[in-house]
Structure 1
Amino acid sequence: MMDALLKGEQAVLGAVLLDPAQLEAMAWLTPADFYRPAHQSLFAAMRTLSTDGRPALDANGTVPLSWVTDTVTEARRHVRGLNAPYAHTLIAACPRPQNAPVYGRMVLEGSIHRKVTEHAVRLEQIARIDADQHQVESVLHHADVLAGALGDLSRRWGTEPRPVPPPESGPSALATPVGPEQTEDERFLLALLVGQPAAMGEVYGWLRPDDFAGAGHGELYRCLGALHHRGEPIDEVTALWEVQRRGLLVDGTLSREHLDGVFGGPGAGSAEWLGDRVIRSSVVRAAAGAATTIKALAEDEALAPGRLIGQALHALGPLDEVRARWRTAIGHPSSAPERADPTARSEPAARVHAALSRSAPRQSTPKSTPPAAPLAQPGTATTSLSRTSPSRRLRSTP
């Protein structure tokens, strides 16, 4: 974790230790947004104690020292290694308690990058596991979970979750390795389409050249699709003529040996069944490619959360397109992805509240400079902390 984010987490906790009222200004921040487990436990302890009505301020509005000690005691119930000196380290790390919402925005921004990375890595792993099994349900489920998380994070950040194309210099997905079984399925399908021209009508409506991963298979399918579209006969001669007309032999996309391997195939079987296997593989590859792209985006610390979420949603677009065609292939063309619409509008008040986390608090010019707030140690001299509001000074409990 970069040093600036660590300092941001420490500053948030220190601000609340100095001024517990800052918790009300950061209702949008959760313990899970903190990177360090100790910080998660401390922030959760602060919320728990605040809900229980602590700290109890006196008539002068001062904060008792027990607020610090009780927070550490409550947090130590869930994580080891915490002690009172670390609480004073947090207090010293906060330049100005009134800037707590801005520090909280830093914590939330880091949390968004981490959560997007976690979901993308999980989707990438599932896609690679299922690459040779032709199982797409699990992959699509995790893609829906990722899309739903992007929508939730966008609303927490205070922006609309809209797909945004990345700049031309943005990250591109690496090609997913293609197994020999997938290549064989494509070769058998192409041989079948050449040997049984009528079979082209079974797959033409939903299978696209981009669904083929084998070298040159997509372009050969494009040639067969062009013949079918023009109503011309499909056989080895017409297919070879279309390949030559498109210059695919000249530029090396296809070779005569490659074509002989396809044309010499069995030419028997079910085009619909083979096409289903090809498009299932395409779904898995699209999911893996989207996950790889999103992971690269989330690892870019310079990318603002709003842009990160928008570009991540855009990266899921190709997966949604091939998913729709796969559902057409299995006979469910009208079924929509089973996930919440990430572009659904959130409540305006919630969006405005989240957006405030990204804005600096309004600074009012004080009439006089407040004195440093002392942290009274029972039986010892007071120690200077950091500047805070006169109404939120820590005092020792009698």
Structure 2
Amino acid sequence: MSPLLEAEQAVLGAVLLDPGQLRQLGWLTPEHFHRPVHQALFAAVRKLHADRHPASTAESAVPLSWVTDAVAEAGLHVRGLSASYAHSLASACPRPGHAPVYGRMVLEGAIHRSITAHAIRLHQAARADALQGDVEGALRCADVLRDVLNDLARRWGTEPRPVDPGAPPAPGSAAAPPPGWAKAAEEERVLLGVLAERPKGMDEVVGWLRPDDFADPARGEVYRCLDALHHRGEPIDRITLLWEAQRRGLLADGTLSSDQLAALCGGVGPGSAEWLGEQVLRSSVTRTAAASARSIRALAEDEALAPGRLINHALHALGPLNEVRTRWQSANGHPPPTPPAPSPNGPPPARVHAARARSAPRPVSPPVSRPGVAPSPAAVRPPSRGHS
């Protein structure tokens, strides 16, 4: 049995033995449980507790109706739950007073699962957009993922902020070629030819197109050479472009050849540098979204990574997508959205409560009787005064 499954059973066993533990688990929701039967049972006990079930205010033994009513309520939403399984959950809980710690383990597993699922959706949306010549699906999924990360940070009790993980996580498998890569490569080639033959086109794209937007690093270096010549105000033609490439060592290290540059500077028909640049930038958006999704998924699948670090590393992995998205909006005449201002009063109370619920020391709770069993006389006998 996995530690996560044992933690889920322990949380449920704790609230079945001691309904008062639910007051310390307000930051935990049924969706954080992995098994559907556990989700239904936790939702049931929360509903009964909110409806002020007699067990929620019992000061002595927990009545047996607490378990039977919880099973009946959960049985309305899931099949296969029996009273015997509920009693086995109570037996699986070592200490009901440790419920906040068990809940923290459940939330930690939910954070990893949730981030993994949203990273997969982002990757699928990016590949679909690449086929359709669009970016909106990937950008919407990126927004959803960012909101999920911020919500998980609030529940975990940490401040969401991008943190560089250092060495990038190793992806589980080699990335497949992006859809439409042949078309994107042709658009890059034609754009460079247009810019080399008609340098005035640089004015249309230089404000938002970057060398890293090219899928082929060699073509990106050609654009870098064009950008440098344009920035210095020097003429652009086949000879000056070849000279700039040589000055940057691109010919010596084999990145480019004189024949490749000559082919770019000749035989190019009419074309709009701005339109072609937008196509290159659109491909860069979907390619960057897919790369961010792969990095975030690799982070989320590392079970040894603590949730706070996972959330902040995932926010950092979205950084390149945020940057290329801003330039895409600039190229299309849409100003980037204004980020929300930080709260002057510090972290939200819900986040502070979540953190305290997990880390604050708890008084030792008295032994809790099993449902339907009255406490023994020894359990309520006052301590002897005859010993010092």
TM-score (norm 1): 0.87
Q: CA deviation at 1:60?
A: 5.2
For 2:343 and 2:369, locate their aligned partners in 1 and report how far apart those are by CA, in whole Å.
Answer: 47
Q: 2:104 — aligned with what?
A: 105
Tell me the alpha carbon deviations over residues 30-70 of structure 1, each in whole angstroms, 9 at most, x when there is no partner: 10010000000000110111122213478752211111111
Q: 1:195 — aligned with what?
A: 197
Whether the 8 Å CA contact 2:37–2:78 is kept in 1: the answer is: yes
Q: Which secondary structure state, in structure 2, belongs to the residue aligned with residue 237 of structure 1? A: helix
Whether the 8 Å CA contact 2:17–2:370 is kept in 1: the answer is: no
Higher mean alpha-carbon deviation, 280-289 vs 176-185, is at 176-185
The alignment covers a number of residue pairs equal to: 373
Q: 1:137 — aligned with what?
A: 136
5+ residue gaps, structure 1, are 377-381, 391-398
For 1:354 and 1:93, locate their aligned partners in 2 and report how far apart those are by CA, in whole Å.
Answer: 25
Q: CA deviation at 1:237?
A: 1.3
Q: Which secondary structure state, in structure 1, belongs to the residue aligned with residue 5 of structure 2? A: helix
For 2:58 and 2:241, locate their aligned partners in 1 and report how far apart those are by CA, in whole Å.
Answer: 91
Whether the 8 Å CA contact 1:105–1:357 is kept in 2: the answer is: no
Tell me the alpha carbon deviations over residues 54-104 of structure 1, each in whole angstroms, 9 at most, x when there is no partner: 134787522111111111111111111111111111011100001101101
Q: 1:49 — aligned with what?
A: 48
For 2:58 and 2:48, locate their aligned partners in 1 and report how far apart those are by CA, in whole Å.
Answer: 20
Whether the 8 Å CA contact 1:101–1:361 is kept in 2: the answer is: no
Aligned positions of 1:1-398 closer than 5 A? 3-56=2-55, 61-168=60-167, 170-171=169-170, 177-178=177-178, 179-332=181-334, 334-336=335-337, 341=340, 347-359=347-359, 361-364=361-364, 370=367, 373-376=369-372
Amino acid at match of 2:228: A
Whether the 8 Å CA contact 1:120–1:294 is kept in 2: the answer is: yes
RMSD over equivalenced CA pairs, Å = 2.5
Whose helix proportion is higher, 1 or 2? 2
For 1:315 and 1:284, locate their aligned partners in 2 and report how far apart those are by CA, in whole Å.
Answer: 14
For 2:226 and 2:328, locate their aligned partners in 1 and report how far apart those are by CA, in whole Å.
Answer: 20
Whether the 8 Å CA contact 1:163–1:313 is kept in 2: the answer is: yes
Amino acid at match of 1:335: P
For 1:154 and 1:66, locate their aligned partners in 2 and report how far apart those are by CA, in whole Å.
Answer: 37
Tell me the alpha carbon deviations over residues 81-137 of structure 1, each in whole angstroms, 9 at most, x when there is no partner: 111111111011100001101101111111111111111110000001111332111
Higher mean alpha-carbon deviation, 107-116 vs 354-363, is at 354-363
Q: CA deviation at 1:341?
A: 4.4
Whether the 8 Å CA contact 1:151–1:343 is kept in 2: the answer is: no
* Distance change >3 Å, CA 210–CA 50, structure 1 → 2: same
Q: 1:379 — aligned with what?
A: none
Q: Which secondary structure state, in structure 2, belongs to the residue aligned with residue 163 of structure 1? A: coil
* Distance change >3 Å, CA 348–CA 215, structure 1 → 2: closer
Q: CA deviation at 1:335?
A: 2.6
Higher mean alpha-carbon deviation, 21-30 vs 251-260, is at 251-260
Amino acid at match of 2:350: A
Whether the 8 Å CA contact 1:162–1:343 is kept in 2: the answer is: no
Aligned identity (percent) is 60
* Distance change >3 Å, CA 13–CA 252, structure 1 → 2: same
Q: CA deviation at 1:360?
A: 5.9
Q: Which secondary structure state, in structure 1, belongs to the residue aligned with residue 302 of structure 2? A: coil
Amino acid at match of 2:336: S
Q: Which secondary structure state, in structure 1, belongs to the residue aligned with residue 164 of structure 2? A: coil
* Distance change >3 Å, CA 169–CA 62, structure 1 → 2: same
Whether the 8 Å CA contact 1:147–1:342 is kept in 2: the answer is: no
Tell me the alpha carbon deviations over residues 113-167 of structure 1, each in whole angstroms, 9 at most, x when there is no partner: 1111111110000001111332111211111111111111111111111111112
Q: Which secondary structure state, in structure 2, belongs to the residue aligned with residue 64 of structure 1? A: coil
TM-score (norm 2): 0.89
Q: Which secondary structure state, in structure 2, belongs to the residue aligned with residue 132 of structure 1? A: helix
Q: CA deviation at 1:215?
A: 4.5
Amino acid at match of 1:359: S
Higher mean alpha-carbon deviation, 125-134 vs 299-308, is at 125-134
For 1:132 and 1:59, locate their aligned partners in 2 and report how far apart those are by CA, in whole Å.
Answer: 61
* Distance change >3 Å, CA 45–CA 131, structure 1 → 2: same
For 1:74 and 1:362, locate their aligned partners in 2 and report how far apart those are by CA, in whole Å.
Answer: 30
Q: Which secondary structure state, in structure 1, belongs to the residue aligned with residue 141 of structure 2? A: helix
